Amino acid sequence: MHEHIEKLTFRKVSVLFMAVHVISEARRCLQCKNPLCRNKGCPIQTNIPEMIRLFLDGKINEAGDMLFENNPLSIMCSLVCDHGAQCEGNCIQGIKGTSVHISSIEHYISDYCLDKMILERDRKKHRRIAVIGSGPAGLTVAIKMAQKGYDVTMFERMDYIGGLLRYGIPDFRLPKTILDRFQKKLLELGILIRPNTSIGGALHLDDLFDDGYEAVFIGTGVWRPRRLGIKGESNGNVHYAIDYLMNPNAYNLLGRKVIVIGAGNSAMDVARTAIRKGADSVDMYVRRNKSAASPEEIDYTLADGVNIQYLTRVESITPDGPMVYHVTMDEEGNVTSQTTPKLVEADVVFIAVSQVPKDKIASTTTGLELNEWGLIKVNEDFMTSKPGVFSAGDVVLGAKTVVAAVRDAKIAAEGMDKYLQSK
């Protein structure tokens, strides 16, 4: 009992400290007439000055409603966006000092408002649409279309909703409890969820139209690992990043020497997760002289004890570890010299060089066109070559950001509504 009280007290103190921090940060906002944090920095044009003004005026619920209306995934984006390159990186306060910590303010508001928020829904249209995939794009379309009065059924091939948010981002960056809370909002809107249902397996996309769905949205993301194309990728000591992040507990890394091949945020996530799962050491090999990950993620990765080696490449992978060589490059990025490959002993090698879409839906659907990279082709309304079928997110863009998926999914929802109203 005493221990339980201590935990509650600590939680209250933590929440109070965060509130003080958020308020002090909000008071630093200059309320710029031309807010670069929004106009230049935010891909989804979040009205940051208005958010802060409402918050400081004691209208936190109005601020939360505004955030959700503009970006239903505001609570997630406040945690996983590259704020240093977006809103905070364009804050005027950062020119001569420290940018306003916009992400903390947004998260505090969104987190406070999520559970108590009452989502409005238009009168039921009694028209059915299907959403395939419950990642960032699918969640956005499902919410927007349900609010417009459509009957929405969401098909998810995994046990739980979230897609990339749940199965591609570590819990220490995005707690899964947020997604569990978010699912309640879907159910409140009347959205039906079919877990463990893969379209392109027992059910095909064309079956959905046969069963009375009038429009379909594809938001299946990119879940097929991109290969390095070198010898040894099938060895038992080699794994792909996206497979590992889906369920890190399935891999025994305790006391192991781990090598991560890659340079993006996923590579950083793998490296930091491996450290937390008991890896003895983690080295990361980056092909060029800089990483594609955000500076903040690089800083956290280094702080976690990961050794990042630039201009380091892998020729092949043996059962004992990778054959590694180092290069030098000129200013144009051309390799000017390289060393002889040498074995670096390692217990586990992770390949983290992006992902591409799976082709189950495309291969079982008539009239659905893909581009040369296997991504779905769409028009300005995000409708595909197949009438009534829309798509957005990574399956259209390739592996990008959560906020980019939400931005495009909002346009897709408008396009879908326009299409249905014209029928």
Q: In the chain, where are the structural domains located?
A: 2-114, 128-223+357-421, 225-354
Compute the Cα dihedral for 47, 49, 55, 58 and give only its sign. negative
User: Out of 3.30.460.20, 3.10.20.30, 3.40.50.720, 1.10.1060.10, which CATH number does the structure's domain 2-114 have?
Assistant: 1.10.1060.10
In this prediction, residue 16 carries a pLDDT of: 47
Q: What is the mean pLDDT of the chain?
A: 93
Q: Cα(357)–Cα(355) distance, rounded to whole angstroms?
A: 7
Assigned token pair, 256: 């192991």
* Phi, psi torsion values for 251, nearest 5 degrees: -115, 135
Assigned token pair, 414: 């408008």
Query: Strand pairing partners for 284?
Result: 260, 308
128-223+357-421 has CATH 3.90.1150.10 classification: no
Burial zone of 315 (CB within 10 Å; 0-12 exposed, 13-18 middle, 19+ buried): middle
Domains 128-223+357-421 and 225-354 share a fold: yes
In this prediction, residue 6 carries a pLDDT of: 42
User: Out of 3.40.50.300, 3.30.830.10, 3.50.50.60, 1.10.357.10, which CATH number does the structure's domain 225-354 have?
Assistant: 3.50.50.60
Contacts (Cβ under 8 Å, ≥6 apart) of 22: 101, 104, 105, 108
Residue ranges in the chain modelled with pLDDT below 70: 1-20
Q: Cα(185)–Cα(144) distance, rounded to whole angstroms?
A: 12
By three-state DSSP, how is residue 310 classified? coil
- The pTM score is 0.92
- DSSP classification of residue 230: -
The H or E element containing residue 372 is none
